Homo-oligomer: A and B are copies of this chain.
């Protein structure tokens, strides 16, 4: 009668098993990213992810309680990477950079990465899906804005940028870039001129001195 209880306590998840489970979770998320980049949310079915990860559908539910959880996990994973890339490009780390150089680098990174992976970018920015994804997008946009905000604040502080509310300018810039990219991304055309136009717009908008 107590056999279940005692033996259950006796069983412990060993480090090896835990590591394997963790690796599996990572593998499933990566598979989902692959599917998302290729087929968008429209193609992101549990079956497709399971197939891509080479596991059974039931196995996916061991790590994610349902599709919603999987979707948000993948979304966050991708966004984290994108934000990090843009933050690095616009970072103050390379000291001695002018505001012009930093803004240019950040915008080019943002837009350039999007245009190199248009399907994924469209998915992140605009593909009509559902309320849960919309809510994630709001967070995503804010995360981007925050990386811009500190850079702008510093530019204003050291007089390289004219007086302005860094939070507003950063938010506006993220909205501007996102909105402009939606068109080209939706139609899969990589219009060459869009990135330079966007950089010029951003430089003017932040009041970066000409040349």
Contacts and interface: CB of A to CB of B under 8 A. Distances in A.
Interface of A: 126-135, 138, 141, 145, 162, 164-165, 168-169, 171-180, 182-183, 193-194, 197-198, 200-201, 204-207
20 contacts: A126-B134, A128-B135, A129-B131, A130-B131, A141-B179, A162-B204, A168-B194, A168-B197, A168-B201, A169-B197, A169-B201, A171-B179, A172-B176, A172-B180, A175-B177, A175-B179, A175-B180, A176-B179, A179-B179, A205-B205
A99 to B, nearest CB: 14
Contacts of A126: 134, 138
A76 B182 CA distance: 21
A191 to B, nearest CB: 9
A168 B182 contact: no
Contacts of A197: 164-165, 168-169
Nearest to A137: B128
Chain A interface helix/strand/loop/mixed: helix
Q: How many copies does the complex hold?
A: 2
A70 B138 CA distance: 26
Given A128-B131, A138-B182, A182-B138, A172 B200 contact: no
Nearest to A186: B138
A209 to B, nearest CB: 12
B180 A171 contact: yes
A76 to B, nearest CB: 16
List the 7 closest A-B pairs by CB distance, nearest first: A175-B179, A128-B134, A205-B205, A172-B176, A128-B131, A175-B175, A176-B176
A198 B172 CA distance: 8
Contacts of A183: 171
A89 to B, nearest CB: 19
A117 B132 CA distance: 25
A134 B129 contact: yes
A88 to B, nearest CB: 23
A130 B135 CA distance: 11
Contacts of A168: 180, 194, 197-198, 201
